[in-house]
């Protein structure tokens, strides 16, 4: 089985994130593998590990990213988790691309990989923690003309090589759905799907459709009015809400 995992290198959510010239500021030392992509890598590794030994040995988990050299940290992290191979697509022409551009380039790379040998599954995280759009997996499925099984809380793959089916369970806004499609397919997994493993120490040792008009930091909130409860804290809270017309 060949599984491609699309990942993104994103600014650390603990870092001071912002914009310059209408684009997100990206620095190699303040970035990280998008945390939600670890669930995607984990899902791919588990599928591979569950295969019979003979097939497992010829199977591959390939991590794919579209970014500049800054993003090698994300690929390296994926190796440390156990990915077999990393592919980074870099081209100044796609720098700053939007959802559609990113999906198109990812799709082209997946097709190129599929020219070498069939790709059975494309797995992604549910969102990148910088843009939080959550739409690239669906667009990637549209670009590749493959079934989309997105936002999976649970992923199962059944059947014999060449005739496999993926089944996902998802719960969104009070609706529980079970969806099924023949492989190849595009799957995105949520952070409920699994608990990603820790990086392996040995592997560490070895290894414009819309344009931004204006982006401005919001003014910081004024300091809070803080009340220490000495028996009347709840009353103070209620009176604050009433005074500010919030009830």
Partner 1 sequence: MSTPGTRTVLVLLDSAGTELRSPVLELITVGRSLGRVEAVALEAPSVGVLAQLGAYGVALVRQAEPSSGGEVVTGDALHLTPVVAEVLAAATRASHADAVLLTSSFPNKEAAARLAFLTEAGLVVDASALTDGGTHLVADKRVFAGSWDVRSEIVTDPAVLTLRANSVVPQPADAAVATEVDALRVELSPAATAARVVSRTVDESAGAGRPALGEAAIVVAGGRGTNGDFGPVTELADALGAAVGATRDAVYEGWHDQFVGQTGVTVAPRLYIGAGISGAPHHRGGMQASQVIVAVNNDPECPLFEISDFAVVGDLADVLPQAAEVLREHRASQG
Site for partner 1 in 220-239 (CB under 8 A): 221-222, 224-229, 231-239
Asked whether position 21 contacts partner 1 by CB under 8 A, the answer is: no
Q: Which is nearer to partner 1, 87 or 135 (CB)?
A: 135
Closer to partner 1 at the Cβ: 18 or 118? 18
3-state secondary structure of 198: coil
Please report, as residue ranges, which positions from 93 to 112 form the binding site for partner 1 (by CB under 8 A). Answer: 99-100
Q: Please identify, using beta-carbon distances, which residue of 59 and 190 lies nearer to partner 1.
A: 190
What is the footprint of partner 1 within residues 155-184 (CB under 8 A)?
A: 167, 172-182
Residue closer to partner 1, measured from CB, 182 or 207: 182
Segment (H or E) for 111: helix 99-116
* x-or-dash string of contact with partner 1, 34-73, rule CB under 8 A: --x-------------------------------------
Q: Are strands 60-66 and 2-6 parallel, antiparallel or unpaired?
A: parallel
Per CB under 8 A, 23 contacts partner 1: no
Instruction: Please identify which residue in 19, 23, 55, 90 interacts with partner 1, judged by CB under 8 A.
Output: 19
CB closer to partner 1, 49 vs 180? 180
Distances 103 to 120, 143, 152 between C-alpha atoms, Å: 18, 7, 19
Contact 85, 7 (CB under 8 A): no
The CA–CA distances, whole Å, from 236 to 50, 222, 242, 246 equal 57, 19, 10, 14
Cβ(48)–Cβ(59) under 8 Å? yes
Specify which residues 240 forms β-bridges with.
none
88 backbone dihedrals φ, ψ, rounded to 5°: -115, 125
Q: What are phi and psi of 27, to 5 degrees?
A: -125, 140
How many chain residues bind partner 1 (CB under 8 A)? Answer: 78
Select 73 or 147, whichever has its Cβ closest to partner 1: 147
Among 87, 114, 129, 203, binds partner 1 (CB under 8 A): 129
């Amino acid at each position: 089985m060949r599984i491609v995992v699309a990942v993104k290198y994103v600014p650390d959510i603990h870092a001071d994130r912002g914009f310059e010239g209408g684009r997100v500021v990206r620095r190699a030392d303040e970035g990280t593998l998008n945390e939600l992509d670890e669930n995607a890598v984990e899902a791919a590794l588990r599928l591979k590990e569950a295969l019979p030994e003979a097939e497992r040995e010829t199977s591959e988990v390939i991590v794919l990213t579209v970014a500049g050299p800054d993003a090698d940290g994300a690929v390296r992290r994926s190796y440390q988790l156990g990915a077999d191979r990393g592919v980074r697509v870099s081209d100044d022409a796609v720098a700053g691309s939007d959802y559609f551009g990113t999906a198109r380039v990812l799709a082209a790379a997946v097709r190129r990989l599929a020219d070498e040998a069939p790709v059975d599954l494309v797995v992604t995280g549910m969102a990148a923690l910088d843009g939080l759009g959550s739409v690239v997996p669906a667009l990637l499925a549209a670009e590749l003309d493959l079934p989309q099984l997105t936002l999976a809380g649970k992923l199962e793959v059944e059947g014999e090589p060449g005739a496999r089916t993926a089944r996902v369970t998802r719960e969104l806004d009070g609706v529980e759905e079970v969806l099924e499609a023949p492989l190849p397919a595009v799957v995105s997994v949520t952070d409920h799907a699994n608990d990603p493993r820790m990086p392996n120490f040995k592997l560490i040792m070895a290894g414009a459709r819309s344009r931004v008009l204006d982006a401005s930091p919001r003014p910081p909130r004024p300091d809070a009015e803080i009340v220490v409860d000495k028996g009347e804290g709840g009353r103070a809270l209620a009176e604050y809400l009433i005074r500010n017309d919030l009830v």
